[in-house]
Structure 1
Amino acid sequence: MKSKSVEMLLKGAKEFGINIEMFHVEQFNKYYELLVEWNKKMNLTAIIEEEEVVIKHFLDSLSTYKCGKMKGNEQIIDVGTGAGFPALPLKIVFPFLKITLLDSSKKRTMFLHHIVEELNLQEVNVIHGRAEDIGKDSAYREKFDVCVARAVASLNVLLEYTLPFVKVDGYFVALKGREIEEEMVNSQRALKELKGSVEEIIKIDIPYSNIVHHLIVVKKIDTSPIKYPRRPNAIQKSPL
């Protein structure tokens, strides 16, 4: 990456309380190069310009650290991870995190396997599957300390796909946009049904941009009913 992009990454991460070493910079640089290379063959991201990737993918992902629930050795699942965001940037700077990347696209999971191998990341599990199926698998259901998602689905829908993965007393952290008031109102039934409670909402200003995001931190207070998550058509027809 160019020196300006490196400076943006270092200073931007520091705003989130993260110190990035040059070894990490090398990994981010390789991540960027592979993202651009593979993006020529498949649709991984519409954002490929270097500084934009630093801001909208790398720093945006690292902002998740502000939730305060990642101390270094938690089991974390990233649902609908796409090209690895937000979990892989977190893994690069916090190597002791135990990461599971879940995505429904076979092509994207091929890219993720390649990235993990090329960056020599340990304790990263890549799963090709749908959240509604994997969330009912006893190997993954309620096995994670933290679930993260940067998906574009509304919060009430995201909660149904994600909270079944979270242990009781664990957390789901949703990366949402500037306007969240309506989503919060519309998510009250889902929170009650799935046994979640909003612990905190953290406003995030992404460095070097006018982007404002919110981290919605949801604590799992009891076991989610086994009927959730439902099939996608049921969720679309009758969202919680």
Structure 2
Amino acid sequence: MDDPQKWLQQQARELELELSDSQLSQFEQYYRLLVEWNEKMNLTGITERDAVYEKHFYDSLTVALAADLSIAGTSIADIGSGAGFPSIPLKIAFPELKVTIIDSLAKRIRFLEEVVARLGLANVACVHGRAEDIARLPEHRDQYDVVTARAVARLAGLNELCLPFAKTGGVFISMKGSDIQEELEESRFSLGKLGAKLAEVKRLELPIEKSERHLIMMTKISATAKAYPRKAGVPLKSPLLASSSGVRL
């Protein structure tokens, strides 16, 4: 175990997570696959090892501060996962999680399938498709305990992509950087339309870089109305926003 691994293990303890040597080996294998595949396709602009461990691995694990992922059988859907953040680090840390990763780019799905196979991760489904389309399938709609998205888009549009996946009583956790107040305000209307409410916002700092992070937690209080999500592309281009004349679509 070298310095980045020791650092991640210590930081995980601060999050009340204990990572075994085997789990740390999985993180290192994940890092190597990320760098290898990044030479063939654009997965991340962050490839320096210490930075990956902090800005991708540790950052992903902070979701554990917003939801109890230790409950056996907990299901999580990661929307627009990209290179697998936060779902793959969370799966490594919580092996009993049932994970579904949804991404619209087939190349990224192939990378994630390779990661899942090489790391020996069970109960991980990598689904290729647009969130707007997948959310209308009965096996995914209103089904998940936890839904995550990491800096994919502004909240007003992101809520429509992600909340349809959460079951009633479940939670959507949006991972954001700094300057979130405007997004929070403009997203309130969409929460009401999508059967959810803002539960809590946690402010964090990365341990080394000290950059600001926020975990925005939204609780699903009723099943998603049939009208949502709208067809592919619409939620981000024309998010659900309050206006003087009603809804801006």
Range moving further from structure 2, 34-43 or 225-234: 225-234
The whole-number CA distance in structure 2 between the counterparts of 1:41 and 1:161 is 29
Contact 1:174 1:216 in 2 (8 A): yes
Amino acid of the structure 2 residue aligned with 1:79:
I
2:143 paired residue number: 143
2:228 paired residue number: 228
Contact 2:133 2:232 in 1 (8 A): no
Report runs of 4+ in structure 1 exceeding 2 Å deviation: 231-238
| 1:61-72 → structure 2 map (5 Å cutoff) | 61-72=60-71
Gaps of 5+ in 1: none
Q: Partner of 1:26: helix, strand, or coil?
A: helix
Gaps of 5+ in 2: 241-249
Amino acid of the structure 2 residue aligned with 1:43:
N
- The answer on 1:153 being equivalent to 2:144 is no
| 1:158-237 → structure 2 map (5 Å cutoff) | 158-237=158-237
Assess, with a 3 A threshold, how the Cα gap between structure 1 residues 236 and 67 changes in structure 2: closer, same or farther: closer
Assess, with a 3 A threshold, how the Cα gap between structure 1 residues 239 and 12 changes in structure 2: closer, same or farther: same
Q: Partner of 1:116: helix, strand, or coil?
A: helix
Contact 1:69 1:146 in 2 (8 A): no
Give the TM-score of the pair, scaled to structure 1: 0.96
Q: Partner of 1:214: helix, strand, or coil?
A: strand
2:85 paired residue number: 85
- The answer on 1:28 being equivalent to 2:27 is yes
2:246 paired residue number: none
The whole-number CA distance in structure 2 between the counterparts of 1:154 and 1:56 is 20
Contact 2:157 2:238 in 1 (8 A): no
Range moving further from structure 2, 200-209 or 28-37: 200-209
Give the TM-score of the pair, scaled to structure 2: 0.93
Q: Partner of 2:230: helix, strand, or coil?
A: coil
Percent of residue pairs identical? 42
Amino acid of the structure 2 residue aligned with 1:70:
L
Q: Partner of 2:111: helix, strand, or coil?
A: helix
Q: Deviations over 1:149-200 (max 9, x none)?
A: 0033001111000000010111101101121111110011101000111111
The whole-number CA distance in structure 2 between the counterparts of 1:7 and 1:114 is 26
Amino acid of the structure 1 residue aligned with 2:57:
F
- The answer on 1:120 being equivalent to 2:145 is no
Deviation (angstroms), 1:204: 1.5
Q: Deviations over 1:2-61 (max 9, x none)?
A: 722112211121221111111111100100001100111111111000000001100000
- The answer on 1:7 being equivalent to 2:1 is no
The whole-number CA distance in structure 2 between the counterparts of 1:168 and 1:126 is 23
Amino acid of the structure 2 residue aligned with 1:6:
Q
Assess, with a 3 A threshold, how the Cα gap between structure 1 residues 122 and 237 changes in structure 2: closer, same or farther: closer
Deviation (angstroms), 1:233: 4.1
Assess, with a 3 A threshold, how the Cα gap between structure 1 residues 168 and 22 changes in structure 2: closer, same or farther: same
Amino acid of the structure 2 residue aligned with 1:95:
P
Q: Partner of 2:120: helix, strand, or coil?
A: coil
Higher relative contact order (CA 8 A, sep 6+): 1
- The answer on 1:100 being equivalent to 2:100 is yes
